[in-house]
Structure 1
């Protein structure tokens, strides 16, 4: 197992390939700027901002389960705002949990019965602090 987002498992095996690529994590601080007459403004550090993570998933029916399963599951997460544990390499990322901030789905190949044979997801997570 490579990791997991909630109950979606990232893994590579002889029967199933379900992983991600182009993983990026962004962090920043929160700053206020105070105007001072006839001087440069003064910056004040307010604290850390929420981190965000984005990654892509290639889903192939020939490499495991039906791509629509993971697509529907992540869409459910985005619509309910459920905080999820994100684990990569056995370690949890972030201070608490993550929510699916946005999701893009691309159906790449569909058979003559409407089954999705391959798809690409772009997932953006936002850090969730309790």
Structure 2
């Protein structure tokens, strides 16, 4: 088994029996600025500090790869709805300064069997850095 990383109890892995990985991983960072207006002059810019980072990725779940697509997507949905903060690890490196929350997730239901069970689904996830202090 190849262990790619984890987000809380969700393990990103590849093995003969299971594929739970991500694609299109992007991380964005920005800064916060204030502009102070002045009479008949250009505004003065003030650096306030870094903005919270965001990470986005897509996961594809396929029952033929040893996962329950609906169960996997609902697990991330519950993390989003509950505000649960978790550590994100890729390789053996924790990312960010603290933890991450699921800011949004978008499910795509791709293929079903004859009983209406989801066989293949895609999940677009956006994480936002979570700072306790």
Q: TM-score, normalised by structure 1?
A: 0.97
Looking at structure 1, the residues matched to 22 and 67 of structure 2 have their Cα atoms a distance apart, in angstroms, of: 15
- Give 1:12's aligned residue: 14
Looking at structure 2, the residues matched to 28 and 66 of structure 1 have their Cα atoms a distance apart, in angstroms, of: 36
Q: Is 1:80 matched with 2:64? A: no
Looking at structure 1, the residues matched to 119 and 68 of structure 2 have their Cα atoms a distance apart, in angstroms, of: 7
* Equivalent residue for 2:31, pick from 29, 32, 38: 29
Cα distance, 1:15 vs structure 2: 1.0
- Structure 2 unaligned regions, length at least 5: none
Cα distance, 1:13 vs structure 2: 1.0
Q: TM-score, normalised by structure 2?
A: 0.95
Looking at structure 2, the residues matched to 70 and 44 of structure 1 have their Cα atoms a distance apart, in angstroms, of: 44
- Give 2:92's aligned residue: 90
Structure 1 segments of 4+ aligned residues over 4 angstroms from their partners: none
Report the aligned-residue RMSD. Answer: 0.7
Query: What per-residue deviation string (whole Å, max 9, x for no partner) do you get for residues 75-99 of structure 1?
Result: 1100100001100011111111100
What secondary structure sits across from 1:15 in the alignment? coil
Higher strand fraction (1 or 2): 2
- Give 1:107's aligned residue: 109
Cα distance, 1:19 vs structure 2: 0.3
Looking at structure 2, the residues matched to 55 and 6 of structure 1 have their Cα atoms a distance apart, in angstroms, of: 16
Looking at structure 2, the residues matched to 82 and 66 of structure 1 have their Cα atoms a distance apart, in angstroms, of: 22
- Give 1:117's aligned residue: 119
Give the count of matched residue pairs.
130
- Give 2:67's aligned residue: 65
